[in-house]
Amino acid sequence: MVDSLAYTPQITLEFKIGEKDFFVAGECASRVKKTLQQLGLKQNVIKRIAIIIYEAAMNVAIHATSGMVTVHIEPDAITIRTEDVGAGIEDIDLAMKEGYSTATYEIREMGFGAGMGLSNIKQCSDDLKIESKVGVGTTLNAKVYFQEQPRPADR
């Protein structure tokens, strides 16, 4: 398995997700995981990336009316970006806490909305930025480096 994809051209994958489109949200992580396996990345890195993509895409499907997941594969890292149109996040710090959720009863009954999405994304990311405007939507940027990076103690 490789630590870097120096021999690989940059690859960008995009997925459009509609409101409650759980199939496409799940398919994002699956397709990217398969691509990264074909490129020969280490399994532990692939697992972190798949978790980020799954959680981010599900957040779009659960909380937005529409959105886009863009995965940019570079020789030394992968960047996952979600942009959505939706309610936005009123308090990002609160939303990052394990167990905090604004998911509806209907979503929870379906087995989603446990409030672990953003905290799982944070744990698996080497770099994470979230911007949100209430009533407009949310943009999330997560980065995972293929080589081990020093990680803050609070992760």
The tens digit of pLDDT for each residue in 125-140 reads 999 999 999 999 999 9
Domain span at 36: 11-145
**Which CATH number covers residue 16?**
3.30.565.10
Distance (Å, whole) CA 108 – CA 134: 22
In a domain, 3, yes or no: no
Answer whether residue 76 is part of any domain.
Answer: yes
Average pLDDT, the chain: 89
pLDDT digits (tens, 9 = 90+) for 78-90: 999 999 999 999 9
- Integer CA distances (angstroms), 27 to 16, 74, 86, 89, 149, in order: 11, 21, 21, 25, 28
What is the number of domains present in the chain? 1
**14-45: per-residue pLDDT in tens?**
999 999 999 999 999 999 999 999 988 999 99
- Is residue 21, in this structure, part of any structural domain at all? yes
**Under 8 Å between Cβ of 80 and 57:** no
Q: How many CA within 13 A on the CB side of residue 43? A: 0
